[in-house]
Amino acid sequence: MRIPRAALDSILDRARKGYPFEVCGILLGRGARVESAREVQNREEHNPRTRYVIAPEDLLRIQRQSREQALDIIGFYHSHPDHPAKPSETDRSLAAQGLSDGVFHMVVGVERGETATPTAWVFRDRLGGFEAETLEVE
């Protein structure tokens, strides 16, 4: 997955500022190249420190905007406050329930609201899970 430095910096800054809660957003682009990252509010009401929810209306709004820009939703990002920058079992379970084959996922580990470490993953139906993806910053 390739991402412009400005888009990645925006995600990392948001992950640090959102600490100790998970933040989330949508990756727009073409193929394996992110053109922009759109933040959305984490709508998780019960456990926002360890879970995130993207509301259907937010997803639809960004989907419409992406079409106007001739971009696709190619993935999602979220943070893991004080947890490793890799998909959790909850992340895997949720991705396995949807149409997720080939969808990119960026997970940002955030330590004490200071250090933010991004990783990239792609969900594969055949594995029922995630494969590590190289994250190239442009």
- 138 catalytically annotated: no
Which residues does 96 contact at the CB level (< 8 Å), separation at least 6? 123, 125, 128, 129
Q: Are 83 and 116 in contact (CB under 8 A)?
A: no
Q: Are 79 and 110 in contact (CB under 8 A)?
A: yes
Q: Are 15 and 116 in contact (CB under 8 A)?
A: yes
How far is the C-alpha of 57 from the C-alpha of 90, rounded, in Å? Answer: 22
120 strand-pairing partners: 106, 133
**30: helix, coil or strand?**
strand
Nearest 10 degrees: Cα torsion 61, 135, 30, 69: 40
Catalytic residue chosen out of the listed positions 22, 45, 68, 138: 22
Which residue numbers are catalytic?
22
